[in-house]
Chain A
Amino acid sequence: MTSTLTRWRAPAGYALGALLLFAVAPALLSDFRLGQLARYLCFAIVAVGIALAWGRGGMLTLGQGLFFGLGGYAMAMHLKLTDAGAGQLPDFMLLYGDTSELPWWWEPFRSPAVALAAVLVLPMGLAALIGYAVFRRRVRGAYFAILSQALAAAFAILLVGQQATTGGTNGLTNFQGFFGFSLLDPVNRRTVYFLIAAVLLLLMIGVRQLFLSRYGELLVAVRDSEERVRFLGYDPALVKLVAYVLSAGTAGIAGALFVPAVGIISPALIGIVPSIQFVIGAAIGGRASVAGAVIGAVAVAWAQTTLSEEFPAAWTYFQAGLFIAVVAFLPGGLVSLRRLLARRGPRVAEVPA
């Protein structure tokens, strides 16, 4: 009886999630609210990657904003170039005025295929480079966290400094079309929402399958006892690298989808603070569970928008307090409450010591 229940619980959960995302939310929410939900779902996609890298892999990636930004800017550059038309410069470059021709590294993004590939290749490639360098030398724990945070900070600073070619603090905004569809048309904006919801569900299912695979077991083993895994003959650096690169890829996808959904990508969305915000959602919901991280990310983003509009100061105290309480006293996140209440031991160790 219990085994049948356990076997069907996850698929039933996903079916319920799909029903909520594809039928209930579009039916109940106004276009404006649906647009906001699309934005939260982008954060949820990042959270899926964080559950993989941090929850299961033990790598606290405080710099997901870097990969989110790479994906976002790759998409935004393509959209800007398409809006401008063949041979023309994007509007902001004309505004800042000191560039007479397109910089060479903008040129490839004219092609939709290159831009779409870049959304994945840039974050994953960079993550592979950093990860290889860092994990091979066994830099880990807090060192890795600080390093990844510094990378996100440096990327944001770099973007701000190059205003003429990246839009600086303002970022890239005012997108008219998305692969031939006008973003001004509410129907197309709904379609973007459905696209984001579909990508989120697919990634959740994919990462969950990864957790259940032999690789998922190995990843948890590396998280809990890296030395023991090394002595068993595996290469922990490689195991961690795969998880880190995949999580960078999901963040890149999230960034790319964020651009048409919200209509802006700017350094303020990818620096230190937003990068930690990504982690907060996953931590509150449940870092080691895909569903927990996603629900946490959506809930925190939703609460932030709704509550911070009315009580900006109180919201900061509440969010910080909740975050402190959950991380300090409930490291498995809110999803682990259920298990605590049911007085059953956790099936997978939730958090490394």
Chain B
Amino acid sequence: MTVYLSQSFTGISIGAVLLLIALGLSLTFGQMGVINMAHGEFIMAGAYTVYMLQGPISDAGVSLLLALPVAFLVAGAMGALLEWLLIRRLYARPLDTLLVTWGVSLMLQQLARDVFGAPNVHTSSPDWLSGRLTLIGGEDPLTLAYSRLFILGLAVAAVAALTLTLRRTPLGRRMRAVVQHRDLAEASGIATGRVDRLTFFLGSGLAGLAGVALTLVGPIGPTMGTNIIIDAFLVIVVGGIGRLRGAVVAAFALGVLQAVMEYSTTVSVARVTVLIAIVAFLQWRPQGIHTLRTRSLA
């Protein structure tokens, strides 16, 4: 019995990582419709921020907590710069945005290789995240790693903060207005260009947070972004664009499915099965779990 419980917790923690890396995309891809392939490299930037901060600050806990806001700002600034330089010229051509940002991601990977070297680097995680929380003791124990719980907490906090921002702040109201009807928003006096850049800043900043979280569960390297970005996009595709709720449900559903399949088969077979499940799901709901109702023909 505990096997299923621990396996579903593994799924939930995979889902939490997926959610964190997909959350930024739910803004840039979900809200703005921009496919930013360099998103994975913003995650990488967040992870390297932890690595950089651990140089001057030897205490792993302090540097990790300090890395959260710093990584948010670093990745966010990179995103805003990318939006200003390239993406705003390409809003009418989403597929070309995908290719252009892939070129950017190639450059950033090479930059990481030149600056930090091609091999993976490692960071030390703080002592208070190294243990495991024992829920059920005895012969058949159920334990949860603190680092996974931390990621889960971070994901929940990020979702809450993003929801509040979208629902309760003037910026969030403007962002939703631009998504729903760009022309009308502009006619109402909203500077849509600035809102776009801010949305992109927030989305990319969330990628930086995800990068900080990823240092707890895996190595940091120039290609770390490429390996996870596809999964993150699949979360948004399944979740449906325009709604945060869809991304949350999809991230945990995919995480649990992946964990269950990995338990009963192998990692590679599990990935293929999850993918087939996604294609099958899109047969049933091509627009994803949640979607904004619009009157467009698509």
By a beta-carbon cutoff of 8 Å, the part of chain A in contact with chain B is 58, 60, 130, 133-134, 137-139, 141-143, 145-147, 149-151, 153-155, 157-158, 160-162, 227, 272-273, 276, 279, 283, 313, 316-317, 319-321, 323-324, 327-328, 331, 351-353
Contacts and interface: CB of A to CB of B under 8 A. Distances in A.
A283 B95 contact: no
A147 to B, nearest CB: 7
Given A134-B282, A147-B279, A324-B104, 9 more contacts: A60-B99, A139-B282, A150-B234, A151-B275, A157-B271, A161-B268, A227-B297, A276-B102, A317-B107
Contacts of B109: 316
B89 interface: yes
Nearest to B94: A142
Contact of A331 (B96, B234, B271): B96
Given A146-B230, A323-B103, A158 B86 contact: no
- Count chain B CB atoms within 10 A of each CB in A58, A153, A353 and give the residue with the most: A153
Nearest to A160: B268
Given A134-B282, A147-B237, A157-B272, A327 B110 contact: no
Contacts of A161: 266-269
Nearest to B108: A320
A142 B275 CA distance: 16
Nearest to A59: B95
Interface in B84-128: 86, 89-90, 92-96, 98-100, 102-104, 106-107, 109-110, 113-114
Contacts of B100: 323-324, 327-328
Given A158-B272, A272-B230, A321-B107, A134 B237 contact: no
B226 A272 contact: yes
A149 B282 CA distance: 16
Interface in B239-293: 266-269, 271-272, 275, 278-280, 282-283, 286
Given A133-B279, A134-B279, A313-B114, A158 B95 contact: no
B18 to A, nearest CB: 14
A133 B283 contact: yes
Contacts of B103: 320-321, 323-324, 327
B229 to A, nearest CB: 9
B233 interface: yes
Contacts of A139: 282, 286
Nearest to B37: A276
B107 A146 contact: no
B107 A279 contact: no
A164 B271 CA distance: 19
Given A60-B98, A137-B282, A328-B89, A320 B110 contact: yes
B24 to A, nearest CB: 16
A316 B102 CA distance: 12
A150 B236 CA distance: 13
Given A153-B230, A154-B272, A138 B96 contact: no
Contacts of A147: 237, 278-279, 282
Interface in B6-46: 29, 33, 35
B187 interface: no
B298 interface: yes
